[in-house]
Structure 1
Amino acid sequence: MKKASVLFVCMGNICRSPAAEGVLHALAEKAGLDLHIDSAGTEGYHVGERSDSRMRSAARKRGVEMTTLARQVVAADLSPGAFDLVIAMDHANLRRLKAIAGGPLSEHVQLFSSFLDDTWPTEVPDPYYGGEDGFEQVLDMLEAGCPVILETLGRCGDHGS
């Protein structure tokens, strides 16, 4: 069986989605799970760049390393066989994914907030233009939702050990 996989998506792939990739990777590693975890942006503004230094710094303080380089999502990423879950950080990126797919999205494409309880916002806010507290809020949300994603991936298929 193929290992379970997830793709996190935000706009530029330098703040929210690579942080989610890092948080889920750290959780999976701690649990001894072998998953395919990736992230991408709906726009190509930052392709090939490292994640935002403010997000890397905030994540590092929590023991999360962010090492990937930004890439843009492509239509093939959205086909049902490519990833078990494709998780958009907000409604705007979910709409953009629909445009990239060229039609309706299958149910394996979801909003990150579907893995959070009702006490959290319905979107992971983009911290790029805000202060340091925005990066912390995003990480709080990711740390709350990623354990639920791990459980969901466990139901999607064999994620190895």
Structure 2
Amino acid sequence: MSRGSILVVCTGNICRSPLGEAILHDALSAQGITVTSAGTHAAAGREAEPVTIEFASRELDRDLHHVGRQLDQSTAESTDLIITMTEEHRSWVAKLAPRTVRRIFTLVELQHVLALLRPDQTFETVRELAMAASRLRARAGAGGTSTDIPDPYGGPPEGYESSFRTIAQTCALVIPALRTHLQIDAGEPHHG
């Protein structure tokens, strides 16, 4: 049974969002959650940047096979939870598909919002969780600090490493929260 869908969005869909997609896909796809990614100004048809592929191989122990794709309105509207890398991406998606506005979060913002849900709050679908999280958005304000994960494209190797580490670390906080609130077994043997 499908529990819902997650779309990860950045600009070119060849650096940040493919990495976020890979991490979330590996953690959630076995539980009936579809995870994809797209770009606001995608390098459509291009493979992920070599540095992204190398990071995935080194840090996630996985081969990353990804081709950039452009985000369109129907994809956005059919997705239950949209995770962007920056506030600008969030605004862009909201303009493209206004009906999705309550289901769009930056990755860092999502981490803060999920932390405000009560541990016993559970949801059948990703969309129900996203809608509940949207009601907490104002309370999860980042205190005036940016929730953006900088675009490393075309910059020095350390910029890629910094952005990718932020994505991996934030996903490592988001995934257990998603599992808790969607009542997903984290993979431990069930005793009972």
TM-score range, shorter chain: 0.7 to 0.9
The answer to whether the 8 A contact 2:31-2:184 is kept is no
Aligned to 2:56: 59
The correspondence for 2:109, drawn from 114, 129, 148, is: 114
Q: What percent of counterpart residues are identical?
A: 25
The correspondence for 1:99, drawn from 91, 95, 102, is: 95
Q: TM-score, normalised by structure 2?
A: 0.68
SS in 1 for 2:166: helix
The AA in structure 1 aligned to 2:17 is: S
**Partner deviation per Cα, 1:79-119 (whole Å, 9 max, x = no partner):** 2xx22210110012112112211x3643211111113466x
The answer to whether the 8 A contact 1:48-1:70 is kept is yes
Aligned to 2:46: 49
The AA in structure 2 aligned to 1:88 is: T
SS in 2 for 1:139: helix
Q: Distance in 2 between matches of 1:75 and 1:158?
A: 30
CA RMSD in angstroms comes to 2.6
Structure 1, unmatched stretches of 5+, are: none
The answer to whether the 8 A contact 1:3-1:157 is kept is no
Instruction: Go from structure 1 to structure 2 and tell me whether the alpha carbon gap of 1:26 and 1:133 turns closer, same or farther (over 3 Å shift).
Output: farther
Q: Does 1:142 align with 2:139?
A: no
The answer to whether the 8 A contact 1:18-1:39 is kept is yes
| Aligned-pair CA distance for 1:33 | 3.6
**Partner deviation per Cα, 1:41-61 (whole Å, 9 max, x = no partner):** 0114x1111111111112211
Aligned to 2:34: 36
Q: Distance in 2 between matches of 1:140 and 1:22?
A: 14
Q: Distance in 1 between matches of 2:18 and 2:100?
A: 22
Could you say which structure has the greater relative contact order, defined with CA pairs below 8 angstroms and 6 or more residues apart?
A: 1
SS in 1 for 2:6: strand
More helix by share: 2
SS in 1 for 2:64: coil
Larger Rg belongs to: 2
The correspondence for 1:76, drawn from 74, 97, 109, is: 74
| Aligned-pair CA distance for 1:138 | 1.8
Instruction: Go from structure 1 to structure 2 and tell me whether the alpha carbon gap of 1:158 and 1:73 turns closer, same or farther (over 3 Å shift).
Output: farther
